């Protein structure tokens, strides 16, 4: 007995049912994920811009104190006192006049201390003590640039 096999039995043609199943699964995925998307709300913020003023605005004048490697203290490139002076009397008197002038003009006194990386820390403390004696508290620190 001989069984006849048809050569075309393996080729069943284009099947539409699996394709519809895949499309429905993809559509179901997107429908579920659409509900999980968070809506972005618009935040009403005002960005900084320019402001109009009636009178000219005075900008605070920055004073720079340099502390050299040898301990020399200078204010705006003018040296004060000796490198060994701990109390810095001339420097403190100049700072006092600077503070009084700033208070009279109603502008803040802005001080930047530029210290050489090799300068002794105790010299920086001496300068801070002088600033504290004249009640200047708006102080920033930086180090000198290596050339």
pLDDT value of position 26: 94
What pTM was computed for the model?
A: 0.56
Q: How many CB atoms lie within 10 A of CB 68?
A: 17
CATH of the domain at 106: 3.30.420.270
Nearest to 132 by CA among 101, 66, 102, 87: 87
Let me know if residue 31 belongs to a domain: no
Write the CA distances from 4 to 1, 8, 10, 106, integer angstroms. Answer: 10, 12, 14, 111
Total domains present in the chain: 1
Supply the pLDDT for residue 24: 94
Residue 146 has pLDDT above 60, yes or no: no
Owning domain of residue 99 = 62-143
């Amino acid at each position: 007995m001989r069984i006849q096999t048809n050569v075309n039995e393996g080729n069943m043609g284009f099947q539409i049912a699996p394709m519809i199943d895949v499309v429905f699964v993809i559509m179901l995925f997107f429908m579920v994920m659409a509900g999980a998307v968070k809506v972005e709300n618009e935040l009403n913020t005002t960005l900084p811009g320019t402001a109009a003023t009636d009178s000219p605005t005075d900008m605070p004048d920055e004073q720079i104190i340099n502390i050299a490697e040898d301990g020399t203290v200078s204010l705006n490139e003018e040296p004060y006192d000796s490198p060994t002076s701990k109390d810095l009397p001339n420097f403190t008197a100049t700072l006092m006049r600077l503070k009084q002038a700033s208070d009279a003009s109603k502008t803040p006194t802005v001080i930047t201390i530029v210290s050489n990386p090799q300068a002794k820390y105790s010299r920086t403390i001496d300068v801070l003590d002088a600033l504290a004696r004249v009640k200047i508290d708006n102080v920033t620190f930086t180090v000198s640039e290596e050339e």
